[in-house]
Amino acid sequence: MGLLDSFIEWLGLRRRDVNVLVIGLDNSGKSSLLNYLRPKDAQRNDIAPTVGFNTEHFQCKGLSFTAFDMSGQSRYRSLWSNYYRTTNGIIFVIDSSDKTRILIAREELQQLLIHPDIISRNIPILFFANKMDIRDALSDVGVSYALGLDSITNKSWHICSSNALNGDGVADGIEWLSSAIKSSMDQAR
Ligand code: GTP
Ligand code: MG
């Protein structure tokens, strides 16, 4: 990118296009979180389980996001890795109230972290400990412990409690991800 392009971006006259991959087990709330990021008049009340994947668009901090909202059902999880190479960031969503399946989420995370297209890249990962509104849901600290996040030392990561139904925690998480993606893209220049 030339000096003029950098200057135009710095002025906020042009947004940078970035891709994010939204993954996590089925029923964790991925599509609901993305629905919350839509303009109020475009939000849907009827979110069905995703088949394959859908794309959504939103903007934050001078970045124009294309989000790949992947299905979390086991038969579709093999699709996730097709998008690893081209993604600028990852949103990993966990149902904090689903304690019986958190170990499966941990296994899926381990598979992600050792994938050749991910392992050596400093790709930012935002974890949403979603469904914080449900009684007895794990806290963000509890989810972090259950997933073993402390062992991720070569990537920027952050965990936020969220409620996709009323949006609590969503903006904080997306703002962190935007800043982290900007830093990693600037470092790669
Ligand atoms: P797949 O597309 O099958 O992978 O699921 P998903 O991760 O996209 O989940 P989805 O957004 O379809 O939400 C699944 C269910 O959880 C829906 O009934 C949502 O209304 C509900 N849900 C999502 N987020 C929350 C939340 O923060 N709190 C509560 N209580 N329910 C939620
Ligand atoms: Mg979905």
Position 10 scores a pLDDT of: 64
Asked whether residue 2 carries a pLDDT value surpassing 80, the answer given is: no
Position 132 scores a pLDDT of: 97
Burial class (CB in 10 A: 0-12, 13-18, 19+), 114: exposed
Q: What does the pLDDT look like over 34-82, one tens digit per residue?
A: 999 999 999 999 999 999 999 999 999 999 999 999 999 999 999 999 9
Average pLDDT over residues 131-153: 97
Active-site position among 59, 73, 111, 187: 73
Q: What ligand is nearest to the CA atom of residue 36? A: 1
As a whole number of angstroms, the distance between CA 181 and CA 147 comes to 22
Average pLDDT over residues 118-145: 97
Position 15 scores a pLDDT of: 79
As a whole number of angstroms, the distance between CA 134 and CA 98 comes to 10
Average pLDDT over residues 96-114: 97
Ligand 1 pocket, CB under 6 A: 24, 26-32, 47, 49-50, 71-73, 93, 130-131, 133-134, 163-165
Asked whether residue 1 carries a pLDDT value surpassing 60, the answer given is: no
Burial class (CB in 10 A: 0-12, 13-18, 19+), 16: middle
- From the CA of 25, give the closest atom in ligand 1: 4
Position 12 scores a pLDDT of: 60
Average pLDDT over residues 157-180: 97
Position 109 scores a pLDDT of: 98
Q: Where are the alpha helices (DSSP H) in the chain?
A: 3-10, 30-36, 102-113, 116-119, 140-147, 170-188
Average pLDDT over residues 137-159: 97
- From the CA of 69, give the closest atom in ligand 1: 8
Q: What is the mean pLDDT of the chain?
A: 94
Q: What ligand is nearest to the CA atom of residue 29? A: 1
Asked whether residue 9 carries a pLDDT value surpassing 90, the answer given is: no
Residue 73 annotated as catalytic: yes
Q: Of the candidates 24, 185, 5, which has an alpha carbon nearest to the alpha carbon of residue 104?
A: 24
pTM, 2 dp: 0.94
Q: What does the pLDDT look like over 71-98, one tens digit per residue?
A: 999 999 999 999 999 999 999 999 999 9
Average pLDDT over residues 99-128: 97
